[in-house]
Amino acid sequence: MVISCRTEYNGVDYKHCFEPSDGKAGLFQEAIISPFNKDQIQSYVEQYVSLRKPSWSSEDYHEAIKRIPSLHDLVKNPFLLKLALEVLPRLLGNNSNYSTTRITRIELYDEFVAQWIERGKKRLSEMELSSSDKLIFKELSDSGFQQRGITYLKVLVTAIYEHQKGNPVVHYPGHDGQASWKKAFFGNRDGSHLLREVIPLTRNGNQYRFIHKSLLEYGLSLAVFGPSKRDEETEATPPVSRRGSTSSAFSFESHSSTERTATAHGQTLLDSPLGKRDLFLTERIQQEPVFKGQLHSVIERSKSDKAARTAAANAITILVRAGVQFNSADLRNIKIPGADLSFGVFDSAQLEGADLRKVNLRNVWMRQADLGGAQMAGVQFGELPFLQEDDKVACSSYSPDGKTYAAGLGDGSISLYETSNWNRIQRLKGHDLTVNSLSFSATGKQIASGSNDSTVLL
């Protein structure tokens, strides 16, 4: 029996990996556990209160789940329900005005991780530590224990994605990993072992993993932007920085400049969990104006700095997925090759000279957008562009070189479009009735049109 609560990682053709080799029908069976319904949520809450004795009663939880917008949908996920029950009393405090309270998934994770680290710190303070560990513990506490723990978590997650492509299980036998990246996190020097004890990480022999796969995605989102970056102060670095930099390759800020700029050059986040449509970062944008501003800044920077193009592609992808619209935006000369702009809104946007190579433009709104001189090799439309006319279209034709498209209309006119950007370049008039036939000359310099008014025009 194989049990997975993260089916999105199975892949499209996962079934053949589990089917018995003898090929007999019926030997492979699959059951899908549906999200919790209202009764199951209520039952879980009752059992949780009975066993854990939290400060809230079951009635308090039921009232919060019922009245806080969006919370009921979140807690249909069993893991998020457990998170919510743990952090709601602390997150809401004495606030009883639930109808105006909005809780997002990332707020639950922020509070859960902070609470987990706080409990871990308390546990360490009550333990009999060695003299050296006591000194390290004091140093960590003096410099901000919780922030050091969060920084350790996000740098570890970034390393997991960089070195083992997100494989959640880290093997660290100790004896043969002394020279590897793992030593900085799983060795016993520089206080790493103390920080390791306070983050939501489990150990089974020489294998380490987070208590839930979603914490990997959360940690990776912290590497891009986390609660600590609301302030302009440089965050504390973890002890592991003595062996190397803790600056994330995924971060959109640079501590080397007074203005925060992107440093995510060369990292393709679109192939990581950050490329998911429900990624944590979309909620972070709605929560943190500073982060939204950083993403806009890196897009602007790409206009003059080719090295920022990957970061800019990631930045605009995240903004689009967060629902940010770019109507009438000045995006001239931006460089965002490979970005995913699907379902984005770019009406009347200025995209002249933009590098849009291999950009996903599926279901994008781009009415009256200016794409003059834009690089569009390999652009993915998903659907062919939609052109709105004022009257019925009776016929159409492409020029021999494919650069011009003509549409004959019911009002007797002909619309000409430039296929590189689908801007209408000319409106030809002359017929009194519907244009029902069109043909370009061999050179493409003339158009012959036939109409219901019994005339042919050139």
The whole-number pLDDT of residue 152 equals: 92
Q: Inform me whether the pLDDT recorded for 255 exceeds 80.
A: no
User: Is 302 a domain residue?
Assistant: no
Q: Inform me whether the pLDDT recorded for 112 exceeds 70.
A: yes
**CA 284/CA 297 separation, integer angstroms:** 16
Q: Inform me whether the pLDDT recorded for 232 exceeds 50.
A: no
**CA 228/CA 246 separation, integer angstroms:** 15
Q: Could you tell me the two tokens for 272?
A: 């990581």
Which one is predicted more confidently, 384 or 157?
157
Sheet holding 170-171, edge to edge: 170-171, 207-210, 201-204
User: Is 350 a domain residue?
Assistant: no
**pLDDT tens column, 318-353:** 899 889 999 999 999 999 999 999 999 999 999 999
- Highest averaged pLDDT of the listed ranges 4-18, 157-171, 272-286, 360-374: 360-374
User: Is 87 a domain residue?
Assistant: yes
**pLDDT tens column, 200-229:** 888 888 888 888 888 888 888 888 776 655
**pLDDT tens column, 80-104:** 898 889 888 888 876 666 666 677 7
The whole-number pLDDT of residue 384 equals: 61
The whole-number pLDDT of residue 410 equals: 94
Percent of the chain with pLDDT over 90: 40
State whether 231 and 135 are in the same domain: yes
Residue 420, burial from CB neighbour count under 10 angstroms (0-12, 13-18, 19+): middle
The whole-number pLDDT of residue 19 equals: 75
User: Is 331 a domain residue?
Assistant: no
Q: Inform me whether the pLDDT recorded for 272 exceeds 60.
A: no
Domain end residue (candidates: 242, 259, 284): 242
The whole-number pLDDT of residue 265 equals: 35
State whether 62 and 145 are in the same domain: no
Q: Inform me whether the pLDDT recorded for 15 exceeds 80.
A: no
State whether 92 and 141 are in the same domain: no
Could you tell me the pLDDT band of residue 234, with boundaries at 50, 70 and 90?
very low
Q: Say how many domains are in the chain.
A: 3
State whether 67 and 145 are in the same domain: no
What mean pLDDT do residues 274-299 have? 79
**pLDDT tens column, 383-434:** 665 788 889 999 999 999 989 999 999 999 999 999 877 888 999 999 999 9
* Domain region containing 434: 393-457
State whether 409 and 429 are in the same domain: yes
Domain end residue (candidates: 77, 103, 129): 103
Could you tell me the pLDDT band of residue 45, with boundaries at 50, 70 and 90?
very high
The whole-number pLDDT of residue 225 equals: 77
